[in-house]
Amino acid sequence: MRIAVRAVLFFLVCLTRIGFAQAVHGIGRAYMDTTCAPCQDFYSYANGDWIAHARLPDSHSEVGTLDDLAMKRATTLARILDSLRSAPTVKGPEAKVAKFYSDCMDVSTIEAQGTAPIQPELKRIREVRSLADLEAEVARLHRMQIAPFFMLQALPDAKDSRHIIADISPAGLGLGDKAAYLGTDSESVASRHRYEKEIALTLQVAGESPTTAQMLAEKVMALETRLATATLGMEMGRDPAAVYHKVSLLSLGNSSSGGWSWAEYFRDMGQAGVTAVNVQEPHYLEIFEAALTDVPLPELKAYLTTRYARNATPRLGGGPIDSLLSEFGRGNLAKQSTADRSRYCVDETESHLGWIVGRIYAATAFTPSTRAKAEGMVRNIRGVLRDELKNVAWLSTDSRAEALRKLDSFVVEIGYPNKWPDYSGVEVRSASFWDNVVAANEYQTSLELARIGHAQQLDDWWPGYWPETADAYFNENLNEIVMAAGYMQPPFFDPAADDAFNYGAFGAVIGHEMTHAFDDRGRKFDSGANLREWWSAADKTAFEERSSRAIAQYDQYIAIDTLHLNGRQTLSENLADIGGLKLAYAALERSLAGKQRVALNGYTPEQRFFIAYAQSRRALDGSDYLRDKVMMNVHSPEKWRVVGPIVNMPEFAKAFRCVAGDPMTLSDAERVQLW
Ligand SMILES: [Zn+2]
């Protein structure tokens, strides 16, 4: 509130706008509005000119740095895939990639095939006559990575993290989180209405009459609502202890013949040998099993049809599908430009043959010197965190020792994995594009589930992450930090830029991931990456007292209209942002020790550090997207990812000569002081 009011007042005196040519390396001066005072509104100071000129194209819900990286990734991959497609001599894995991409780009064949590629599976669903048939069909869809009712994954046993076990969690809820099914605000009501209409039209595409489709859509909606109500929801579901319930397969129960059988299900998934399963949400499973017995079979089948068809339609074409997709903003193949189609097909090729694509990408677009430079930064930031853990006053002696062991056990993978997953068995049959998607998904499922019962490999990356991904993460089950090559390019990382820039933009990312190991979630895992309570009651109290300041701080921020951020929902990420920036700053200071501090373009290294950080998070969001983000995302919107951490740093106030009471400062009593 305070920030918003002062920013508005100050806007009246932001009169002149001075344009600068953008530096080739380092901070982008052309993005800044230097007529705004940094201590009043630093986000506008660093990004004001960019924000004033940014435009949101219809096809985008956000533009900004992450979008820039996504575009770069898409352009690089499109270049790679286009050249493979037009090279007739391509062989081996590259040929599979080229074929997959080519089939996706072949719009006229896709349009001509219409709904033919999905007819066999729709027929199978129609022919389901019993719960035993339903089980077999659910397993078929699960192998295709379509997840009605629940999802089976191969995940580390949280209490014995070196071992991979079968894990079942709620899935198949088209609106995502429980809150979307239960919210009474007009937005939620409208989105449910839209979704129900989409189900009805999807069922029509699948062959139902309009009246039956509408009737069944209401039933599907009721079923999803019932299932969603039984989930823990996003906030509770994030607690690793709340989702750990390892049980024997036998205890899951098997109904008499003709009913749902878990043993059959696992057999159908190729996992007949499974004996133990982590059921993330036992209550959800009870409600699911109850629904199997009291929901009429035609309604359960309508739900399966919806899940299947909704997954397939974006990969199909033809009149009814085109209008369905365009009505619900999910792309319309008939109207796509070649560039848009290429972008879509790049994504599809990546998400289905990711490790083949990623390997080509890493060899083409990531240099050993970039990797070496990042390794140096990781070492330096780790050193700062080590000293921090040694000295932090609120952590007890035993916890401190274990925290240091945990820090020392970190595995860091920079750019690409040290060992590449084997994709040699994947098939691209080309009967239809949808068939290619299904074959690749089935292959991925078999690879993933084959890990069950074995020791975890250090090189397993999270699903959906490849070298070209513009992201990083901390995996608590491995004590592993992964920073994908796609993230390590300007405006986050530039080997040719000054250290202040790299620490501000990318050092903050490294620090962010490291502190995740010790936040409200990561702290529940010990140095062996096992779920274990290793903090004393006093440590927890001190942590909670300190982190409650972050909740209060972010709760105050208004993202749009009267919509406040949810400080609790975003707590882990906010703490990582605050801690990460502090660690990166200290690491920069260390790297500058004994060197002359050179001003560039009139900015000290410390100023450039904060400007680089703020610029790395410049973004313009569509209002619906922003609202969704505030409601659903565990990260704060980009602007608050900048303001939230800097106000916690006296180093920022010093660099820009802010005084107590300035909007970009917090008092000692308000500041979050963990690391
Ligand atoms: Zn994070």
With a cut of 70, say whether residue 216 has pLDDT above it.
Answer: yes
Query: Vertex 352, ends 350 and 355: CA angle to 5°?
Result: 65
pLDDT in tens, 526-585: 999 889 989 999 999 999 999 999 999 999 999 999 999 999 999 999 999 999 999 999
From ligand 1's centre to the CA of 509, what distance in Å? Answer: 8
Mean pLDDT over 36-57 rounds to 96
Residue 379 in contact with residue 583, Cβ under 8 Å?
Answer: no
From ligand 1's centre to the CA of 474, what distance in Å? Answer: 8
Q: Which of residues 489 and 17 earns the better pLDDT score?
A: 489
With a cut of 60, say whether residue 256 has pLDDT above it.
Answer: no
Rounded-to-integer distance, Cα 66 and Cα 638, Å: 10
From ligand 1's centre to the CA of 519, what distance in Å? Answer: 10
Mapping DSSP to helix (H, G, I), strand (E, B) and coil, where does residue 414 land?
strand
From ligand 1's centre to the CA of 543, what distance in Å? Answer: 18
Rounded-to-integer distance, Cα 489 and Cα 45, Å: 23
Average pLDDT of every residue of the chain: 91
Angle of helix 571-592 versus helix 508-516 axis, rounded to 10: 130
- Range with the lowest mean pLDDT among 83-92, 261-270, 429-438, 468-477? 83-92
In the sheet with 276-279, reading across from the earlier edge strand, the strands are: 150-157, 160-170, 276-279, 246-248
For the entire predicted model, the pTM comes to 0.78
**CATH class of the domain whose range is 116-315:** mainly alpha
From ligand 1's centre to the CA of 351, what distance in Å? Answer: 22
From ligand 1's centre to the CA of 200, what distance in Å? Answer: 37
- Range with the lowest mean pLDDT among 6-20, 286-300, 606-620? 6-20
Mapping DSSP to helix (H, G, I), strand (E, B) and coil, where does residue 435 land?
helix
Rounded-to-integer distance, Cα 408 and Cα 94, Å: 39
Separation in Å, CA 320 to CA 24, 65, 114, 204, 560? 48, 36, 9, 9, 37
From ligand 1's centre to the CA of 571, what distance in Å? Answer: 10
pLDDT at 458 (0 to 100) = 66
With a cut of 80, say whether residue 21 has pLDDT above it.
Answer: no
With a cut of 50, say whether residue 220 has pLDDT above it.
Answer: yes
Mean pLDDT over 129-135 rounds to 95
Rounded-to-integer distance, Cα 562 and Cα 363, Å: 48
From ligand 1's centre to the CA of 241, what distance in Å? Answer: 19
Angle of helix 42-53 versus helix 605-616 axis, rounded to 10: 50
Buried b (16+ CB within 10 A) or exposed e, 20-51: eeeeeebbbbebbbbbbbbbbbbbbbbbbbbb
From ligand 1's centre to the CA of 475, what distance in Å? Answer: 10
pLDDT at 332 (0 to 100) = 66
pLDDT at 24 (0 to 100) = 67
Rounded-to-integer distance, Cα 342 and Cα 336, Å: 9
From ligand 1's centre to the CA of 513, what distance in Å? Answer: 6
Rounded-to-integer distance, Cα 56 and Cα 33, Å: 20
Residue 573 in contact with residue 519, Cβ under 8 Å?
Answer: no
Give burial (CB, 10 Å; 0-12/13-18/19+) of 133.
middle
pLDDT in tens, 439-449: 999 999 999 99
Structural tokens at position 513: 């991931």
pLDDT at 238 (0 to 100) = 76
From ligand 1's centre to the CA of 584, what distance in Å? Answer: 15
From ligand 1's centre to the CA of 637, what distance in Å? Answer: 13
How many other CB atoms are there within 10 angstroms of residue 92's CB atom?
9
Q: Which CATH superfamily is domain 63-72+352-656 in?
A: Collagenase (Catalytic Domain) (3.40.390.10)
Rounded-to-integer distance, Cα 389 and Cα 117, Å: 57
Contacts 24+ apart (CB under 8 A), 630-635: 630/559, 630/560, 630/563, 630/564, 630/565, 630/566, 631/179, 631/566, 632/176, 632/177, 632/179, 632/234, 633/570, 634/234, 634/238, 634/569, 634/570, 634/572, 634/573, 635/570, 635/573
pLDDT at 462 (0 to 100) = 86
Domain limits of the chain? 3-53, 63-72+352-656, 116-315
Mean pLDDT over 376-380 rounds to 96
pLDDT in tens, 615-630: 999 999 999 999 999 9
With a cut of 50, say whether residue 26 has pLDDT above it.
Answer: yes
From ligand 1's centre to the CA of 233, what distance in Å? Answer: 19
DSSP 265-303: HHHHTT-TT--EEEES-HHHHHHHHHHHHHS-HHHHHHH
From ligand 1's centre to the CA of 444, what distance in Å? Answer: 26
With a cut of 80, say whether residue 335 has pLDDT above it.
Answer: no
Q: Name the range with the highest mean pLDDT among 427-431, 600-604, 609-613.
A: 609-613
From ligand 1's centre to the CA of 183, what distance in Å? Answer: 27
pLDDT in tens, 169-210: 999 999 988 999 999 999 899 999 999 999 999 999 999 999
Contacts of 428 (CB under 8 A, 6+ apart): 96, 99, 100, 103, 436, 439, 440
Mean pLDDT over 331-356 rounds to 86
Structural tokens at position 31: 């993005």
Rounded-to-integer distance, Cα 375 and Cα 531, Å: 28
Rounded-to-integer distance, Cα 114 and Cα 624, Å: 32
Upper half-sphere CA count for residue 439 (Cβ side, 13 Å): 17
With a cut of 70, say whether residue 330 has pLDDT above it.
Answer: no
Prior bond of 491 cis (ω within 30°) = yes
Mean pLDDT over 651-663 rounds to 97
Rounded-to-integer distance, Cα 477 and Cα 518, Å: 13
pLDDT at 244 (0 to 100) = 94
Structural tokens at position 575: 């703490």
Q: In this prediction, what percent of the chain has a pLDDT beyond 90? A: 76
Contacts of 212 (CB under 8 A, 6+ apart): 203
pLDDT at 183 (0 to 100) = 93
If we measure between CA atoms, which residue out of 668, 675, 444 comes closest to residue 577?
675
pLDDT at 250 (0 to 100) = 82
How many other CB atoms are there within 10 angstroms of residue 245's CB atom?
14
- pLDDT bucket at 255, cuts 50 / 70 / 90: low
Rounded-to-integer distance, Cα 356 and Cα 358, Å: 5
Site of tokens 């706008």: 17
If we measure between CA atoms, which residue out of 352, 433, 325, 435 comes closest to residue 108?
433
With a cut of 50, say whether residue 502 has pLDDT above it.
Answer: yes
From ligand 1's centre to the CA of 512, what distance in Å? Answer: 6
pLDDT at 22 (0 to 100) = 44
With a cut of 80, say whether residue 95 has pLDDT above it.
Answer: yes
Mean pLDDT over 413-427 rounds to 89
From ligand 1's centre to the CA of 473, what distance in Å? Answer: 7
With a cut of 60, say whether residue 12 has pLDDT above it.
Answer: no
pLDDT at 16 (0 to 100) = 34
Rounded-to-integer distance, Cα 340 and Cα 674, Å: 45
From ligand 1's centre to the CA of 655, what distance in Å? Answer: 26
From ligand 1's centre to the CA of 102, what distance in Å? Answer: 36
pLDDT at 54 (0 to 100) = 94
Q: Check residue 660 and report its DSSP letter.
A: T
pLDDT in tens, 148-164: 999 999 998 989 888 99
Mean pLDDT over 281-302 rounds to 95
Q: Do domains 63-72+352-656 and 116-315 have the same CATH topology?
A: no
From ligand 1's centre to the CA of 223, what distance in Å? Answer: 33
From ligand 1's centre to the CA of 177, what distance in Å? Answer: 20
Mean pLDDT over 663-672 rounds to 95
With a cut of 90, say whether residue 320 has pLDDT above it.
Answer: no
